[in-house]
């Protein structure tokens, strides 16, 4: 069995198409098909259901896919480890995923990481749901992710807390009570809301906070983009609910105000999660080590201290 055969097999499984997989692997389709057929003979199993085209994986193929991804990830990690030893620092590409609401705060970790490891590169995916991020970590499609912490989802992962997020309502000034820096969820429910989509973990936490007050909200506008939420508020006819840390790089228009949500004062632990298998990827280990030395709660306390005094 060769690493190349596993790479071809994973490509076919992910692309679900032999020609696209061959193009992805920079080989001809006959060469790719022949390599996978040889792999099947070596293992004495059928891995792919074949008809006129790709029809899916057999049960044996599904199991091999899990192992193939892990084997290839460990192989790539070993090569990166050798390069790191030669260069004296982390080298390679860090595949980082973040929830959309952490797309700005991730830059704080990345700034420290890139300064310490100038030969490393980073690819960021910032439009994935929390569930998808955890799934991709476990299938070795990501090296690390910045995610909300949920105990049932992190049992087999290495988790480094980054900061605790809190929630704010952003709305046109005339929609909010004057001279108040807080608003209750009961009051927020009376506003014309634009919210994140229901598949996003942050929206699910927001819905749970409303439900705790006996309220179900049905916003006219839903989006997976926090930028779109703020734009909706800026039009003057919508209020939105976002984690306050998202605002550290985003100026609020003069006609808008931010007020904290209370009763309850909802909090979410945001963390860096990585696969706990050792030795693992050197760039992932370096990224986790960087996160361990940051105090972002103190940073946000200072940075956002004046946010509610406008």
pLDDT tens-digit profile of 97-149? Answer: 999 888 888 999 999 998 888 888 899 998 888 989 998 988 888 999 999 99
How confident is the model at residue 310, as a pLDDT?
A: 46
5: confidence class by pLDDT, cuts 50, 70, 90: confident
How confident is the model at residue 189, as a pLDDT?
A: 94
For residue 242, give the nearest of 200, 274, 199, 195 by alpha carbon. 195
308: confidence class by pLDDT, cuts 50, 70, 90: low
Residue 246 per-residue DSSP state: G
67 is a domain residue: no
> Quick one: 263 and 274 in the same domain?
no
Q: Please give the model's pTM, rounded to 2 decimal places.
A: 0.71
The backbone torsions φ and ψ at residue 228, rounded to the nearest 5 degrees and listed phi first, read -65, -35
Domain boundary among 42, 62, 82: 62
> Quick one: 224 and 176 in the same domain?
yes
> Quick one: 174 and 258 in the same domain?
yes
> Quick one: 132 and 261 in the same domain?
no
Give the relative orientation of helices 18-25 and 3-15 as an angle to the nearest 10 degrees.
130
> Quick one: 235 and 182 in the same domain?
yes
How confident is the model at residue 85, as a pLDDT?
A: 52
For residue 202, what are its two tokens?
């942050």
> Quick one: 153 and 76 in the same domain?
yes
Q: How far is CA 38 from CA 34, 43, 46, 66, 159, in A?
A: 6, 9, 11, 19, 40
Peptide bond into 264 cis (omega under 30): yes
> Quick one: 131 and 154 in the same domain?
yes
- What is the number of structural domains in the chain? 3
219 is a domain residue: yes
Peptide bond into 81 cis (omega under 30): no
Gap between the Cα atoms of 150 and 270, Å rounded: 10
CB-CB neighbours of 4 under 10 Å: 14
Gap between the Cα atoms of 246 and 225, Å rounded: 12
Given a cut of 50, whether residue 265 has pLDDT beyond it is: yes
Residue 1: strand, helix, or coil: coil
Contact 10, 65 (CB under 8 A): yes
77 is a domain residue: yes
> Quick one: 208 and 229 in the same domain?
yes
Select the more confidently predicted residue: 151 or 96: 96
Contact 255, 231 (CB under 8 A): no
> Quick one: 27 and 95 in the same domain?
no
Q: Which stretches does DSSP call E strand in the chain?
A: 48-50, 54-57, 92-98, 120-125, 144-148, 157-172, 182-184, 193-196, 221-223, 239-243, 256-262, 267-275
Mean pLDDT on 274-297 = 83
237 is a domain residue: yes
Q: By residue range, what is the domain housing residue 189?
A: 165-267
CB-CB neighbours of 205 under 10 Å: 19
How confident is the model at residue 168, as a pLDDT?
A: 92
310 is a domain residue: no
Gap between the Cα atoms of 138 and 185, Å rounded: 36
The pLDDT tens digits of the residues spanning 219-260 come to 999 998 888 888 888 888 899 999 988 888 766 777 888 899
Look up the CATH number of the domain holding residue 140. Answer: 3.40.190.10
How confident is the model at residue 283, as a pLDDT?
A: 83
> Quick one: 159 and 299 in the same domain?
yes
For residue 96, what are its two tokens?
């980082």
Domain boundary among 62, 89, 110: 62
Render the burial of 249-282: b for 16+ CB within 10 Å, e for the rest: eeebeeebbbbbbbeeebebebbbbbbeeeebbb
How confident is the model at residue 247, as a pLDDT?
A: 82
Look up the CATH number of the domain holding residue 13. Answer: 1.10.10.10
For residue 104, give the nearest of 251, 253, 231, 205 by alpha carbon. 251
Look up the CATH number of the domain holding residue 221. Answer: 3.40.190.290
To the nearest whole number, what is the mean pLDDT of the chain? 86
Gap between the Cα atoms of 33 and 50, Å rounded: 11
The pLDDT tens digits of the residues spanning 163-220 come to 999 999 999 988 888 778 899 999 999 999 999 999 988 999 999 999 999 999 999 9
> Quick one: 172 and 262 in the same domain?
yes
247 is a domain residue: yes
> Quick one: 169 and 261 in the same domain?
yes
Rounded-to-10 torsion of CA 47, 51, 54, 58:
-30
Gap between the Cα atoms of 216 and 289, Å rounded: 41
The pLDDT tens digits of the residues spanning 156-165 come to 889 999 999 9
Q: Strand pairing partners for 95?
A: 123
């Amino acid at each position: 069995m060769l690493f190349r055969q596993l790479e071809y097999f994973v490509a076919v499984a992910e692309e679900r198409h032999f020609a696209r997989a061959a193009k992805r692997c920079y080989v001809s389709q006959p060469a790719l098909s022949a390599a996978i057929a040889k792999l099947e003979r070596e293992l004495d199993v059928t891995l792919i259901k074949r008809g006129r085209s790709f029809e899916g994986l057999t049960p044996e193929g599904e199991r091999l896919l899990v192992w193939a991804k892990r084997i290839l990830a460990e192989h790539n990690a070993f090569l990166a480890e050798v390069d790191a030893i030669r260069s004296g620092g982390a080298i390679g590409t860090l595949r980082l995923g973040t929830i959309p609401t952490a797309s700005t705060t991730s830059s704080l970790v990345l700034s420290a990481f890139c300064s310490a490891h100038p030969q490393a590169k980073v690819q960021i995916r910032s439009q994935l749901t929390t569930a998808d991020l955890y799934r991709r970590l476990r299938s070795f499609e990501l090296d690390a992710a910045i995610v909300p912490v949920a105990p049932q989802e992190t049992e087999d992962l290495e988790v480094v807390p980054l900061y605790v997020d809190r929630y704010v309502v952003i709305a046109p000034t005339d929609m909010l009570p004057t001279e108040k820096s807080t608003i209750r969820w009961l009051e927020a429910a009376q506003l014309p809301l634009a919210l994140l989509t229901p598949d996003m973990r942050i929206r699910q936490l927001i819905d749970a906070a409303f439900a705790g007050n006996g309220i179900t909200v049905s916003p006219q506008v839903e989006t997976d983009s926090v930028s779109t939420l703020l734009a909706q508020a800026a039009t003057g006819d919508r209020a939105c609910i976002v984690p306050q840390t998202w605002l550290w790089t985003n100026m609020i228009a003069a006609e808008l105000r931010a007020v904290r949500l209370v009763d309850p004062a909802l909090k979410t632990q945001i963390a860096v999660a990585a696969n706990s298998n050792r030795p693992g990827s050197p760039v992932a280990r370096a990224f986790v080590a960087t996160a361990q030395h940051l105090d972002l709660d103190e940073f946000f306390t200072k940075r956002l201290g004046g946010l509610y005094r406008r």
